[in-house]
Structure 1
Amino acid sequence: MSLVGCCILQNVAVFLFSMLYLNPSISYLLKNCTIPFSENMSNSACINIDCSQRKLLVVPDGIPRGVTRLSIYLNQIQAIHKNDFRYLSNLTVLNLAMNQIAHIEDGSFIDLLELRELNIAMNKLTKLSNNPFEGLWKLTVLDLSRNRIRVIPPSAFGSMSSLHWVNLDQNLLTEMTDIQYILPLPHIDYISISDNPFSSFETKHLPSNMSSSLRGFELSSTVLTIFSITTPVFPHLEKLSFNGLCPNPVMEVDIPEPRFFRTVTHLQSSTHCISFKDMRKLLESLVSLTHLELLHTEKWINRGLLKTACSIPSLRSLDLHYNSVVNIDPKLANCSQITKLDLFSNRISNLSSHSIQSMKQLRYLDLAGNSLSSVPHDLISLSSLEILYLSANHIAEVGCLDFFNLTRLKELYLAYNYIDKLDGCVFQYQKDLKVLDLSNNLLLELDDTFKIGLKNLEFLDLSTNRIKHFGTGDFISLESLSCLKLNIIEDVHSKDFERLYTPSLSFLLQMDNIFSGLQLLRNLTVYLNIPEGYKGVDLNSYQNLINLPSLRYLDIICRGMHCSKPFHVPIHFLKTMKNLEHLTAENFQLVEPDKDTFIYTPKLKSLAITESSLSDLNPELFQPISNLEALDLSRNTLKNLDFLAQANLTSLRCLKLCENDLTVIDHNIFQFLPALTYLDLSVNPLTCDCSNSGFLLWALSSDQTQIVNVDQYVCTYPLSERGTMFVDIDVQSCWMDASFLCYISATSLVLLTLLTAFGYHFLHWRLVYAYYRLMALLYDMRERKRNNPYCYDAFISYNIQDEAWVHREMLPALEDERGWRLCLHHRDFQPGTSIMENITEAIYGSRKTICVISRHYLESEWCSREIQMAR
């Protein structure tokens, strides 16, 4: 094939290719939706799609049929129609909360055969149709709270035989009969109907033979006047909740038979709608109560309700948070049997002597969010205590005897206090402690706190303190530590620069000694403050800075006003972290890392270097970490992605490049990332012209890689296109330019000239014959339209050599004997008219054509044309 022909075919193929890939029905593009990246994203059995907060007016089209979790909350959808979720037979969780849904057509969910959870909370439903949940045989959780539902038809829940949990809070239900068709469902466990305008809740209004499998029931209403259980409707009820705030008691509790509530083990009340007398009576009837929650009920507590509660022998858990109680001491005197006490967010300033000493079985105590100025002295008597919360108080100091005798303590939370110092003996008795949270305090140093004891500690949080430096072996005794969070504040004065290369060098050089002994540490988070005056000296000559062979997760985050200073990463910084899998460096103005930075971490799966002003990267940097699956380079200053072509990232599945300086994306780069499934290029100054046409075609057609929110990318350049959408680029015009059209026209003209010369030279007579054939056809059509009568009975076609025989034999027989009128060329042709025209007129003017066939006839060219034309 000629070069010209090849070029034509190539351009035609490109055009057809662009037309094909502009068809969104065959692309991976999810308009108005994303598939959030997760480590199990490759698992086809679990596909999570997020279409939330997109200002959608309808359920989006093109949702993959294999989706298992779908979120469309916080949009503006007004109705659900029959075909909105068609074919989504694998869907298990559907979230439609916070829309404006006012109507659901019957059969809208009929295809959702595997749906387990459905959330339609915070919409505008006023009523349910007769069968809105048809087909949801496997649904177990349904949330219809915060709508305007007034009536529930009897058949609305008829097909939901697997339903366990229903939330109807904050609707407009007024009668108990509105839920009577839910209660008999075979597997119903929990119903919440709080904040509905019920005036009464009386089981006598239910069928006498009704028995529900309900185990949890939540009810509250500021207009509820009576709560009466007079029939055994709830033989399996375990948890009963009364919620809502009332200025004065308005509800009467009527439970004439305590046996109706003999199975109740949990009671929650956050209301003053019940009178103190009725509440005490209710508690006395709950003979099996083990867990009691009293929220916002300080009036009852101050009147002595706890005395009644603590007299219940089975009570084990007492939750009194959010009560604003100041003095709790005398009220808990009889609660010696409880194992869990929650006093979170009250106003307790101190616990006097003998306040909780009787609670010898207490294992869980929450005093967080109070006004304690010191660790309560009575705690030393709680030898069985395992979990202790003292966060968010005003504790400024902890002493060696504060936790004396708490030898079984496993979790201790002291965050958000004012502790500025730790003595080495503070935790010397806590040999079983596993979790210690000292974050958000004022610690300046650790002394020898972690050099002795705490050998079983697994989690330690020292972040957001004022620790300036760590000493040698500060954590040497923490042999079991697996997660450590800390921050470093370097505050070195100018005189110290004379003996140190850099203020932060003192931290880095000591890190080997700091973490000595932490051979089991798996998670380390360091919040580093770069000090004023930092020069950014290269530290590559220092080796073995951190010796943490078991480390899996390392997060180093810069905080403070001096994070904009250049920061060099030592080459051997990660040398001992051969098992490292996840590394994050955030808010460092990194000088380009050395190509050998990751040679010691071949197992690295996730790497995030964000907010670090990286403008270019050496592709050799990624060669040692070919198993990398997730790479986040967001909020840098990258201008191109050329480094990816040689980075050997064949296992990379997630690539985030948000908020860089990328203007033109070369889509050919991504062929070097064969496993890529998630690509985020949001908030880049993209150019909307033909330079990005290839990337756009690839983005719209890729059946493997999801380009997150590509339909929301906005053009930045050229200025005339600023503000328009990136997907609106006219890709076809990029291929149909003026030079291409000129090329096609010139090529066509040359081919036409060649074909004309070829035809004239080799097919001259055939073309002439074809021309006259065409003329004859046109003449025939014209004559037929005229419908003129024939002038002759027959036209005689013969050779001049046979003329004697025609006159002697044929004419007498046909004209004289039969009376035919014959047309002969020597007699009837019009003089001055062309031969072909005369032949044509003679043939079309005669009813028949008679050919006198002889050897001379067959050898004559004109006779041959006459017979062909006659035919």
Structure 2
Amino acid sequence: MDKIVFIWMVNIFNFNFLAGQNSQQCTTEKRCQCKEVEPGLLADCSGLNLDFYPRFFDGIVTIDVSYNKLKDFPSTIDVPTTLKHLNLSGNLLRRIDTDKSRKLFSHINDLASLNLSSNLIPLDPNVYPADIFMNLTKLKSLDLTRNNITSVEFRTLDHVIKPLVSLEMFAIDGSEKISFGVGFGTLKYLWHLRLYGSCNRNRLLTIGKDYFDNLSNLRTLDISSEITRNFTTMDWTTSLCSLFYIHRGAISKLSHLKYLDISYNRELGLCGFSNITHDLPSTQIKIFRANYLHCNAGPSVTLFCDDIKPLTNTTLEELYFDGNNIDFAQTGVLYYLPVSLKRLTLRSNRWIQNRYTYCNTFGLTNLTYLDISDMNIHQISSDERYVDCLNFFRIINCEKLRSSSFGTSLNPRVWEACIEQCLKPQTIENFNAQTKRGEVYETSNISYPLTCSTPISFATNVNMFFVPRNLEHIVMNNSRLGHTLSYIYFASSNLKSLVLSHNQFYSLIGPICNATKLKYLDLSNNRCSYLSPYVFRELIALEKLILDNNLIGSAQILQEKNVRDLFSMQLKLKELSLASNGIKFLPTEIFRNLKKIRLLNLSKNQLSDWNVNLEHMRHLIYLDLSENQILFLSDSGMALIGSGFSKIFTIDLSINPIQCNCDSYSFILWLIKCKEKFKKFKQYTCSLMKPNITDIPNANIYLTKKCSSYVSLTVLAINFIICFLALLVIVIIYRNRWKLRYWYYIAKRQYFRGYNRVADEKRYRFDAFISYADEDRIFVTKSVKTKLEEEAGLRLCIHHRDFIPGCDIADNIINAIHQSRKVIFIITEAFLKSEWCMYELNMAHTENVISRQGTNMLILVFKEDIPQNRIPQKIQQIVQEEVYLDFPDDIEDEVIFWNHLTRSIL
């Protein structure tokens, strides 16, 4: 095992040595520290007076006893020889040349990092003997910052550091009393140097030309000032400490330098900045931080071309130039930024709109990130306490000195024609005119097609943003923009994220064109109360949209039918946030196209119910409805939310004024049933008449007793009424089923084929309609047809011969009955078994009762002897009311039978 960890806990009486009881834990954490790693496992011993140490195990590699008021170094018997990392920062150590320290540093030869910062050890040659670190040949990191800087010059520091042949990172308080002698030149691995600007009378004021002569191997150099904010005394003076001036040529000695930070040197100013940029072409600089180089209450300054012109000849990739009181830049200044630049931040300045605003930045082909947030923040709106500028007139003199080079020649790689266009105000007017005509705007041989699928007839002007062609991220947070976000066209189509929060866009009209790759858009905190339906129409690749802290709840579009068009093109949207917008209701169709939405935030609004369908949101995993005005959800609201439930779906209804009463009982039951879907469910509370019951589970128990009888009785009564009405309807329909069928077909004939009552007809088409079973077809065709049709001259309707092909059987039956004077039923066993025969019998009886007013139109012929108990009640009823004949068994009686049948028909 390469690392074994020891953990010791502190008791107010003695040290609790955990070798026996927690030895397994000590071998898994892999650190030895007096900090709380897990609640209840490790004690936080910061602030205790530890004047002695428990004995450590062999194999310990890391010891962290920072901020424990230690007054002396640990003894060698308490520290294992395997130690590699020792942190003694934030204690009360006063000397480093004690016997304990000498023995300690001779004992731990494998030490790789040593942190002695924030102690009381003076940076004095009398305290640091030359041989103190003699045995630490493997030390890679040494931190001596935040200690006492004396008035004694420490010119022999290189003799102390020289034995550290493996040293890679060195941190020390910057001071004019400390120098880096020739001994530092032998440290070929010293790549990282940190000079804190601690405040005292011996602070680092200036850096001479030869200050870094023996540090030629440096890769990173941090000489930024350390800011300490004391909120109790409101003492902010530390921000004015450290670097006062740096001479030209000091940084040029660092030919391998890749990272440089000079931030928070409040008195350095742009004069010192210019001296540094002059040296950077001699380095390999990649990252340059130059933030807050002016007193925050100082005057505004101008950025000239000469300030950044040397950067053109560097390979700089990241430039941070925040908080420098810049309100104006010389036209064309951006063209001097190097082509290699990828990230540029200009936050917290005082930029004002001018001609340089509209200049194209064609040369910055590698720029992907631009931040110009917090523009023109004044003293009264800042969260800092402004201190007085100590050298106000020195800043003014610096401006005069720098302005003497105004109007210098431009970078040769910049097109002169483009600069001339930037200087002409009519350029933007020409662009607007071309846009309305749908033309192509050309400048410096680069064409931008002015195309947008959304009609722009409403737009009076088009706001063209000439951004570098590969720019992906723009941050303009709190930049005093507004009041209307009208038609915008980006000259670059590679934009992926755009942050416009904390501005003053009261109206979002749009559209935002040529941003088809935009995935992230933040328009929060703009007090917006107007949205047009086409503001987001062109943003087809949008995946996250933030509209928090606006006034969308009062927007007219929520009342209009075209609200469905608001997010109609956001087919790839995954996150939508509409928190804190005063929304009282949501139109049902507002999210109809958000099929890939995953997170939907509607918290801190005024919603009282839910009426948006979630069924199409198959990927939705989180719906935030917290801090609304939901007393309880209606049945439809619960059903709509339930339609979006999936295995990973969660919803937040916390901090809502949920009511617990019988009216909301079904909602409470729903919460209990689906509690695994509700985030922070244990924190849900509700208002109840009975005191001391606020959580949902206990409220449910109370409501079950209170509302169960009422609910049960109500449910039982409703169910009984429904069943009774259903049974009544079924009985009525069953008893009148034949009449209903009959009237159905009569109505069908009347409206689709025409219908004439029998009384209006001069004669029937048929004398008789023969109803029989297929088994009796021979009897009908041989006997009935011969006797009645051929011999008696009657016209019969026989279904296999006279029914109209292509018509429904039921329609044919109704037509035959209606067009026949009589209906003859051949009653046999097969007849009684046939559904269609019984259907014909019932339809004919209904016709006789309703349309023929009870005239005798039914003739029953019993061809077979059928037992009485097998004859249906309907036929028995007809036998009592209508004519019926028995077919004779003897041939001699058939003549009489046929005569009687013929007379019955006529």
TM-score, with structure 2 as normaliser: 0.56
| Alpha-carbon spacing, 1:425–1:167, altered in 2? closer, same or farther (3 Å) | farther
**Which residue is 1:670 aligned to?**
641
- The one-letter amino acid of 1:734's match is T
**Which residue is 1:337 aligned to?**
217
Equivalent of 1:244 in 109, 118, 126: 118
Q: Determine if the alignment matches structure 1 residue 214 to structure 2 residue 50.
A: no
Contact in 2 for aligned 1:427/1:453 (Cα 8 Å): no
Contact in 2 for aligned 1:525/1:556 (Cα 8 Å): yes
Contact in 1 for aligned 2:141/2:167 (Cα 8 Å): yes
CA-to-aligned-CA distance 1:361-411 (integer Å, 9 cap, x gap): 322111111123313323222112221111122272221121223221111
Shift of 1:329: 1.2
Equivalent of 2:567 in 593, 598, 608: 598
**Which residue is 1:481 aligned to?**
471
| Alpha-carbon spacing, 1:573–1:428, altered in 2? closer, same or farther (3 Å) | same
Task: Describe the SS at the equivalent of 1:319.
Answer: strand
Shift of 1:504: 3.9
**Which residue is 2:335 aligned to?**
428
**Which residue is 2:501 aligned to?**
527
Q: How does 1:734-753 map to 2 (within 5 A)?
A: 734=704, 736-737=706-707, 739-740=709-710
| Alpha-carbon spacing, 1:137–1:194, altered in 2? closer, same or farther (3 Å) | closer
- The one-letter amino acid of 1:485's match is V
The whole-number CA distance in structure 2 between the counterparts of 1:598 and 1:332 is: 60
**Which residue is 2:165 aligned to?**
287
Q: How does 1:317-328 map to 2 (within 5 A)?
A: 317-324=192-199, 325-328=203-206
Q: Determine if the alignment matches structure 1 residue 390 to structure 2 residue 380.
A: no
For structure 2, the residue ranges without an aligned partner over 5 or more in a row are 226-240, 295-299, 378-424, 432-462, 718-906
Shift of 1:447: 2.3
**Which residue is 2:582 aligned to?**
613
CA-to-aligned-CA distance 1:570-608 (integer Å, 9 cap, x gap): 222223322211111122211255112222121111110
Shift of 1:634: 1.3
**Which residue is 2:629 aligned to?**
661
Contact in 1 for aligned 2:224/2:263 (Cα 8 Å): yes
Shift of 1:516: 1.9
Contact in 1 for aligned 2:359/2:466 (Cα 8 Å): no
Larger RCO (CA within 8 A; separation ≥ 6): 1
Q: Which moved more, 1:548-557 or 1:354-363?
A: 354-363
The whole-number CA distance in structure 1 between the counterparts of 2:471 and 2:329 is: 19
Shift of 1:738: 7.6
Equivalent of 1:462 in 342, 353, 372: 372
Shift of 1:139: 2.7
| Alpha-carbon spacing, 1:457–1:366, altered in 2? closer, same or farther (3 Å) | same
Task: Using the aligned pairs only, state the percent identity.
Answer: 19
- The one-letter amino acid of 2:618's match is T
Q: How does 1:542-553 map to 2 (within 5 A)?
A: 544-553=511-520
Task: Describe the SS at the equivalent of 1:421.
Answer: strand
CA-to-aligned-CA distance 1:345-369 (integer Å, 9 cap, x gap): 2432432333433223322111111
Q: Determine if the alignment matches structure 1 residue 516 to structure 2 residue 491.
A: yes
Contact in 1 for aligned 2:197/2:243 (Cα 8 Å): no
Contact in 1 for aligned 2:374/2:479 (Cα 8 Å): no
Shift of 1:713: 3.3
Equivalent of 2:322 in 393, 415, 419: 415
The whole-number CA distance in structure 2 between the counterparts of 1:641 and 1:672 is: 12
Shift of 1:720: 6.6
Q: Determine if the alignment matches structure 1 residue 174 to structure 2 residue 37.
A: no
The whole-number CA distance in structure 1 between the counterparts of 2:265 and 2:365 is: 31
- The one-letter amino acid of 1:712's match is Q
Task: Describe the SS at the equivalent of 2:218.
Answer: coil
Could you say what the CA RMSD is over the residues aligned between the two structures, in angstroms?
Answer: 4.2
Equivalent of 2:701 in 719, 731, 744: 731
**Which residue is 2:548 aligned to?**
586
Shift of 1:413: 0.7
Q: Which moved more, 1:622-631 or 1:423-432?
A: 423-432
| Alpha-carbon spacing, 1:351–1:249, altered in 2? closer, same or farther (3 Å) | closer
**Which residue is 1:403 aligned to?**
308
| Alpha-carbon spacing, 1:241–1:738, altered in 2? closer, same or farther (3 Å) | closer
- The one-letter amino acid of 1:332's match is Y
Which has more helix, going by share of residues? Answer: 2
Shift of 1:123: 11
Q: How does 1:50-199 map to 2 (within 5 A)?
A: 127-133=16-22, 135-136=24-25, 139-140=28-29, 142=31, 144-145=33-34, 170-176=47-53, 178-181=54-57, 183-185=58-60, 188=61, 190-196=62-68, 198-199=70-71
Shift of 1:336: 3.5
| Alpha-carbon spacing, 1:340–1:179, altered in 2? closer, same or farther (3 Å) | farther
Contact in 2 for aligned 1:170/1:193 (Cα 8 Å): no
Contact in 2 for aligned 1:623/1:647 (Cα 8 Å): no
- The one-letter amino acid of 1:174's match is D
Shift of 1:689: 2.3
| Alpha-carbon spacing, 1:308–1:728, altered in 2? closer, same or farther (3 Å) | farther
Shift of 1:423: 3.6
**Which residue is 1:649 aligned to?**
617
**Which residue is 1:373 aligned to?**
269
**Which residue is 1:686 aligned to?**
658
**Which residue is 1:16 aligned to?**
none
Contact in 2 for aligned 1:219/1:242 (Cα 8 Å): yes
| Alpha-carbon spacing, 1:274–1:355, altered in 2? closer, same or farther (3 Å) | closer
Task: Describe the SS at the equivalent of 1:622.
Answer: coil
Task: Describe the SS at the equivalent of 2:631.
Answer: coil
| Alpha-carbon spacing, 1:245–1:224, altered in 2? closer, same or farther (3 Å) | closer
The whole-number CA distance in structure 2 between the counterparts of 1:236 and 1:211 is: 7
| Alpha-carbon spacing, 1:138–1:118, altered in 2? closer, same or farther (3 Å) | closer
| Alpha-carbon spacing, 1:636–1:174, altered in 2? closer, same or farther (3 Å) | same
Shift of 1:464: 1.9
Task: Describe the SS at the equivalent of 1:282.
Answer: helix
Larger Rg: 2
Task: Describe the SS at the equivalent of 1:436.
Answer: strand
The whole-number CA distance in structure 1 between the counterparts of 2:11 and 2:640 is: 45
**Which residue is 2:845 aligned to?**
none
Contact in 2 for aligned 1:143/1:167 (Cα 8 Å): no
Contact in 1 for aligned 2:197/2:204 (Cα 8 Å): no
Shift of 1:653: 0.7
- The one-letter amino acid of 1:567's match is Y
Q: How does 1:466-865 map to 2 (within 5 A)?
A: 466=376, 475-487=465-477, 504-505=483-484, 507-509=485-487, 511-512=488-489, 515-517=490-492, 519-527=493-501, 529-530=503-504, 539=509, 544-559=511-526, 563=527, 566-568=529-531, 570-590=532-552, 591=555, 592-593=557-558, 594-643=563-612, 645=613, 648-666=616-634, 667-675=638-646, 676-702=648-674, 704-708=676-680, 710-715=681-686, 717=687, 724-734=694-704, 736-737=706-707, 739-740=709-710
Q: Which moved more, 1:659-668 or 1:425-434?
A: 659-668
The whole-number CA distance in structure 2 between the counterparts of 1:488 and 1:303 is: 43
- The total of aligned residue pairs comes to 573
| Alpha-carbon spacing, 1:703–1:727, altered in 2? closer, same or farther (3 Å) | closer
Shift of 1:140: 3.6
CA-to-aligned-CA distance 1:256-279 (integer Å, 9 cap, x gap): 586621111211112537998796
| Alpha-carbon spacing, 1:655–1:475, altered in 2? closer, same or farther (3 Å) | same
TM-score, with structure 1 as normaliser: 0.58
